[in-house]
Structure 1
Amino acid sequence: MAIEVAPLPLPPSADPSKFKHFGREVKGVHPGTLTPDQLEEIKTLLYNHDALLFRNVDLTPEQQYALTKAFDPSSESYGHGNNKTGETKKSILHPDLKTIPRVPQVQLIGNGTVYNHEGLAEARLKHPSHTTFHKTVVSPEDEAKGVTRFYRWHIDAALYDLSPPKVTTLYGLNVPKGPRQICRYDDGTGDELEVPLGTTAFVSGRTMFDILPKELKSLAVRSKVKYAPHPYVWMAPAKAKSTGLGIETDGLEMSLDELPPWEQAKIKIFPVLWKNPVNGELHFQVHPCGVQELLVDPLPAGADREGALYPDGAHLTDLGQVRDLLYRMQRPAIAPSLVYPHDWHEKDLVLFHNRGVLHSVVGAFKPDEVRAFHQCNLAASDDPVGPTDEDVKKWA
């Protein structure tokens, strides 16, 4: 049977003109039993559309791992390392993951207590909540009425030592249904978004770059971000913005000498823009929570300097300044009309281009609501590729 594709069902809040390229539902094949030719077709579809949905599939952890690995055959360990979070219980990721014993690259995530699951006698899961991570929180009264927030906009990546996974697979096993929620931005804009309970929200890094004004495109194409060592430990004492898009600058981050042992050579410096391996498009791919510094190259010879930011280049080390600049560039792309909030069904498999999108956990569950998903991503065999000299000349 031939592979068939259809556009993803967009919510009424979405601007269809901004989703022409984003997301496809795939029919006619089973993602766990793809032939080599089908796999190549799926790879092309993913890199062109950034998220693929397979409905109503039975998928073992072994099949999920094999599918994920097929995008980067020499990758092996889970994206944060097979000790899950790369270091210690101080990491903000520590409570979110339980490893499937026989396939340690696949994690069990969700909410509530799951018994006798794939070799785990008992797994207590906790859906991440903005109440533990944001500087301000939704009032209990509003939360009871179904008001919620984006938890943390991110890329699945260790951001230290290991290279960012090329793809992530998410498979819904137990998906509790409930009333829809209102995701509030609470940033003074009045923005809010109606979302399904427990949605995963996605935004396109390609769109994030495309909608920037000229001077910010020029800055993005010339810039790299430097991440903190052990960034999830470093940021753990700090609190996030109400949109989930980065950290408030209150000086709460751990000092570098408080962190687990780290090596200068393992610190990650990545381009702000990552080049799509199939179509050559540029995706704005920054995990704002973990960034420590911004490095800007000067404008190339002959470039128009009028209105340009940092035309002679810069090395920005003031954390507040770095975060404010990144927020200015990234916030427009999480506007309600540009967010795809996936409405999960049991046995949904979503495969997404982790080097082309940002995503966020959303919503809140009661402690007794059981939600179970399998997640897999693999630390890549290479770092992402940034803009070419031709890209820089074009956009700078």
Structure 2
Amino acid sequence: MAIITPTVRPLQPPPGSSINFGAQVDGLDLENLTDDQFAAVRNALYQHHVVVFKNQSKLSPKAQYELTKRFDPAADNYGHGKTLDAKRSILHPDLKTIPHQPQVQVIGNGFVPSYEGLENIQLKHPHHRTFHKDHIPDDKDYDFTRFYRWHIDAALYDLYPPMVTTLLAVEVPKGRRQTLLYDDGSDETLDVPLGTTAFVSGENMFDLLSEEDKEFVKTSKVEYAPHPYIWMSQAHSLSTGLGLHSEGLELPESDLPPIDEKKIMKFPMVWKNPVTGKLALQIHPSAVRKIHCADGVVIDDLATVREIVYKMQRPAISPQHVYAHDWEEGDLVLFNNRGVIHSVVGAFKPDEVRLFRQCNLAASEAPIGA
């Protein structure tokens, strides 16, 4: 039997873009990957960070889960743990669990009569008006949009951030595009497909820093709030989706579920790529609470922490650095959750149905720093 070797083709950036990540992989049966073929896929992921497989509509939830798990065989819990069960969590409305494969979630928009054991499900695509301090006027909503929330897929309490997330496009609305606005005093905009997923490279984010800032992030750690998605549930996002306004709206610890100090997550600001050794600035800007500096100083003024993180991350989300995937039905996208941050984008009409499957698993090991 001939051994099938996958073809890996770097994605071609659009005119004016400086994107240097992303690849399409062809020639594999993802339901029946050999160890050598998976090794090639893993290498492609850590070399290119976002890997696209076309025409995967028939991929089963079981195979999607098994592919995701293969990146970290000791992992098994859904990446956000019991966050889904917390009614106050900002993630609660966005995800439905597939009954026969509970590590795989369904996300999207619109009414779906039946899918993989789920019946009469109403999906709701996150809209920036529910999370941002201000929003695009309703009469311009279908022409313009924003980044909803830049993030890493991670519980950020008790569980380690997943190695990889897999996203499968089952049903995708056709045709319409939107203009993404930054609305932060800059005149930056980005033409995006409806309901795109936007990615930026953490390695590029690190490379854009000054030498002084590179030294700071290589030697500092961030501490995340306990139960962060409940903690931030009353707060408002900046218009760029890159972190929160400091208005004192975060819930006090007395209003959170019980807190185990040992489960509070503290990670290096930069994470090392396990294949290339390159460093990526990987911070969830909405969930960060403190910065621990190399000299022992702890920056715990929340507004100051957010200003520091924003200053370091903002250059890398400018339009020329953003990869906005143009989803087609059957696209399976794997992304290096420890090497990119990403955001939901878009405003859908009620009758525009978008159906996706997502899988990520809380990692068995913490990220490795510089």
Corresponding position: 1:91 with 2:89:
yes
Q: Report the Cα offset of residue 30 of structure 1.
A: 2.2
Note the alpha carbon deviations across 1:281-336, whole angstroms, 9 max, x for none: 111000010011001103xxxxxxxxxxxxxx521000000000000000000010
Q: Matched residues, percent identical?
A: 56
C-alpha distance in 2 between matches for 1:381 and 1:363: 33
Match of 1:149 among 143, 146, 165: 146
Note the alpha carbon deviations across 1:217-238, whole angstroms, 9 max, x for none: 1111111000000000000000
Corresponding position: 1:209 with 2:202:
no
Paired position in structure 1 for 2:155: 158
Corresponding position: 1:191 with 2:188:
yes
Paired position in structure 2 for 1:118: 116
Q: What code does the residue aligned with 1:109 have?
A: I
Note the alpha carbon deviations across 1:326-362, whole angstroms, 9 max, x for none: 0000000001000000000000000010000000000
C-alpha distance in 1 between matches for 2:84 and 2:255: 16
Paired position in structure 2 for 1:253: 250
Q: Report the Cα offset of residue 216 of structure 1.
A: 1.0
SS, match of residue 110 in structure 1 = strand
Does the Cα contact within 8 Å between 1:13 and 1:193 map onto a contact in 2? Answer: no
Corresponding position: 1:104 with 2:102:
yes
Corresponding position: 1:14 with 2:11:
no
C-alpha distance in 2 between matches for 1:370 and 1:143: 17
Paired position in structure 2 for 1:394: none
SS, match of residue 218 in structure 1 = helix
Corresponding position: 1:378 with 2:323:
no
Note the alpha carbon deviations across 1:361-392, whole angstroms, 9 max, x for none: 001101111110000000010110111xxxxx
C-alpha distance in 2 between matches for 1:33 and 1:189: 48
Q: Report the Cα offset of residue 10 of structure 1.
A: 2.3
Does the Cα contact within 8 Å between 1:31 and 1:54 map onto a contact in 2? Answer: no
Does the Cα contact within 8 Å between 1:3 and 1:28 map onto a contact in 2? Answer: yes
Q: Report the Cα offset of residue 86 of structure 1.
A: 5.5
Q: What code does the residue aligned with 1:371 have?
A: R
Q: Report the Cα offset of residue 262 of structure 1.
A: 1.3
Q: What code does the residue aligned with 1:69 have?
A: K
Count of residues paired in the alignment: 366
Corresponding position: 1:353 with 2:336:
yes
Q: What code does the residue aligned with 1:41 have?
A: A
Q: What code does the residue aligned with 2:282 have?
A: Q
Output the aligned Cα RMSD: 1.0
Paired position in structure 1 for 2:299: 316
Q: Report the Cα offset of residue 73 of structure 1.
A: 0.4
Corresponding position: 1:28 with 2:27:
yes
Paired position in structure 2 for 1:136: 134
Paired position in structure 1 for 2:42: 43
SS, match of residue 45 in structure 2 = helix
SS, match of residue 254 in structure 2 = helix
C-alpha distance in 2 between matches for 1:271 and 1:87: 28
SS, match of residue 325 in structure 1 = helix
Structure 1: unaligned runs, 5 residues or longer: 299-312, 388-396
Q: Report the Cα offset of residue 5 of structure 1.
A: 1.2
Q: What code does the residue aligned with 2:219 have?
A: R
Does the Cα contact within 8 Å between 2:85 and 2:92 map onto a contact in 1? Answer: no
Q: What code does the residue aligned with 1:6 have?
A: R
Does the Cα contact within 8 Å between 1:13 and 1:336 map onto a contact in 2? Answer: no
Q: What code does the residue aligned with 1:224 have?
A: K
Q: Report the Cα offset of residue 48 of structure 1.
A: 1.1
Q: Report the Cα offset of residue 121 of structure 1.
A: 1.3
Paired position in structure 1 for 2:68: 68
C-alpha distance in 1 between matches for 2:245 and 2:14: 30
C-alpha distance in 1 between matches for 2:169 and 2:243: 27
Q: Report the Cα offset of residue 9 of structure 1.
A: 3.6
Note the alpha carbon deviations across 1:241-285, whole angstroms, 9 max, x for none: 000000000000000110011110000000000011111111100
Paired position in structure 1 for 2:6: 3
Q: Report the Cα offset of residue 13 of structure 1.
A: 4.3
